Structure 1
Amino acid sequence: MKIMFVGLIMLAASCQSARQTSSFGGGSEKLYAHAWTLIDVEGQAVTPTGTERDAQLLFSTPNRVAGSTGCNRLTGTFELTGTNTIHFSPLATTRMMCPDSQTEARFTKALAAVDTYLVTDSSLTLSKGKTVVARFRASQPQAGN
């Protein structure tokens, strides 16, 4: 009887662990509900234009992310390792000449540093520890994303 009880406890613990690492753990289903348009990176406002030049992220299963840096397209994967914990793989981008390469560089640097996220209403905040590195608003996916 004790062996069966210990087995049930271990099974419950492994199920909890699997839930936390799944693509929909910790309320992450909200990540998939919208496309996310960048409005702030490293404390500097980014003004979305409503065109395909907006920096944007679109999350899809299984653990895929695609979007735009504001000039170049980006794609890659991400991992959710716990409640509100996220890590992006090195993201692949196209290499077009961009008129605003500074925003693009800050955006890709911010994504590489991110370790937590928070979705509230129609906003997404990506942080490194307690420091906010990028903020987004919910939007419609752009053509090509």
Structure 2
Amino acid sequence: MIMKQRFLASFISVVIVLGSCISSQKTATTTAIGSTTEIAGKKWQLVELRGNRVEEKINGQIPFLQLNSENNRYAASAGCNGLGGEYTLKENNRIAFARGISTLMACDNMEVESELVKVLEMADNYTLDGDILSLNRARMAPLARFQLVDENGMQALNGTWVLDYISGTRIAFDGLFPDRKPEITFNLPETKVTGNGGCNSFNTTFTLDGNNIKFNQPVSTRMACPGNGEATFFKTLQTVSKYSIDGNTLNMIMGDIAVMRFQRK
């Protein structure tokens, strides 16, 4: 009887220990998987590539990487083409990038882009040290390093804005745009906007540096439109040099003068 009691006590102890180990393993696994969310939903500026420093801007644009946890897709650029595709995150900080469709523009200074594409194909894990994200292969020296970008101000631009004021014309606003008010839609970190000029749909690219913004020539559909409102809108958009946001109001500014005002849709 005594032997049976001792055996039972020993068995219970073993079960408790095994249960504790399994619980610890589950906790560790959960922590490892959960930690991957630290790098998603943020914009990372490329600062080092294969041990070489990367310029702050390439062809006037900030080189970056951004992961979208909602659809497991990434967006990246090194100053020319928009790069993108799917990514996979696993425990123990493992990561893999699958390249998707990218634009095919020819630009100056494409060396960094070419190397970044190779790095994304090679990387199989990442490390995070404060605000520095490193993409690595096995235990070799980091292939690339990225600095976290504070996007609080830039993210406020995202969404659709409807024009309710434009300067430089003697015609009343409703007379300029009798059928539809112009709209513009931002989707950062993409540096391309879409919208409607009051008649035709349009898109264009832009550069952004803090609150400084510069729009390139809009490309639009070619329906015949009454009045000069749309032409005035496109022309004024290209004069903008910076922006400010106050609540749901977006001001597009030339020098110190607000030349256009939008309301969030």
What is the rounded CA distance, in whole Å, between the counterparts of 1:34 and 1:99 in structure 2?
Answer: 27
Match of 2:147 in 1: 137
- TM-score, normalised on structure 1? 0.76
| From 2, 10, 34, the counterpart of 2:42 | 34
What is the rounded CA distance, in whole Å, between the counterparts of 1:76 and 1:89 in structure 2?
Answer: 6
Partner of 1:92, secondary structure, is coil
| From 56, 61, 76, the counterpart of 1:67 | 76
Q: Cα–Cα, structure 1 residues 60 and 51, in superposed 2: closer, same or farther, change >3 Å?
A: farther
Q: Does 1:47 align with 2:47?
A: no
Partner of 2:56, secondary structure, is coil
Contact map agreement 2:133 2:145 (CA 8 A) in 1: yes
What is the rounded CA distance, in whole Å, between the counterparts of 2:67 and 2:125 in structure 1?
Answer: 15
Match of 1:56 in 2: 64
Partner of 1:144, secondary structure, is coil
Which region of structure 1 is more displaced relative to structure 2, 105-114 or 33-42? 33-42
Higher relative contact order (CA 8 A, sep 6+): 1
Identical-pair percentage: 25
Match of 2:223 in 1: none
Q: Cα–Cα, structure 1 residues 138 and 50, in superposed 2: closer, same or farther, change >3 Å?
A: farther
The structure richer in helix per residue is 1
Paired amino acid for 2:136:
S
Match of 2:120 in 1: 111
Contact map agreement 2:46 2:147 (CA 8 A) in 1: yes
Which region of structure 1 is more displaced relative to structure 2, 49-58 or 113-122? 49-58
- TM-score, normalised on structure 2? 0.44
What is the rounded CA distance, in whole Å, between the counterparts of 1:125 and 1:91 in structure 2?
Answer: 22
Partner of 1:89, secondary structure, is strand
CA-to-aligned-CA distance 1:81-135 (integer Å, 9 cap, x gap): 3211001012432111121111111111011000010112111000011221000
| From 126, 130, 135, the counterpart of 2:135 | 126
Structure 1 runs (4+) greater than 4 angstroms displaced? none
What is the rounded CA distance, in whole Å, between the counterparts of 2:73 and 2:41 in structure 1?
Answer: 14
Partner of 2:80, secondary structure, is coil
Contact map agreement 2:77 2:113 (CA 8 A) in 1: no
What is the rounded CA distance, in whole Å, between the counterparts of 1:101 and 1:127 in structure 2?
Answer: 22
Which region of structure 1 is more displaced relative to structure 2, 65-74 or 48-57? 48-57
Q: Cα–Cα, structure 1 residues 91 and 135, in superposed 2: closer, same or farther, change >3 Å?
A: farther
Unaligned 5+ runs, structure 1:
none
What is the rounded CA distance, in whole Å, between the counterparts of 1:42 and 1:81 in structure 2?
Answer: 24
Structural RMSD (CA): 2.8
Q: Cα–Cα, structure 1 residues 51 and 30, in superposed 2: closer, same or farther, change >3 Å?
A: farther
Unaligned 5+ runs, structure 2:
1-14, 155-187, 192-265
What is the rounded CA distance, in whole Å, between the counterparts of 1:143 and 1:28 in structure 2?
Answer: 20
**CA shift at 1:26, angstroms?**
4.6
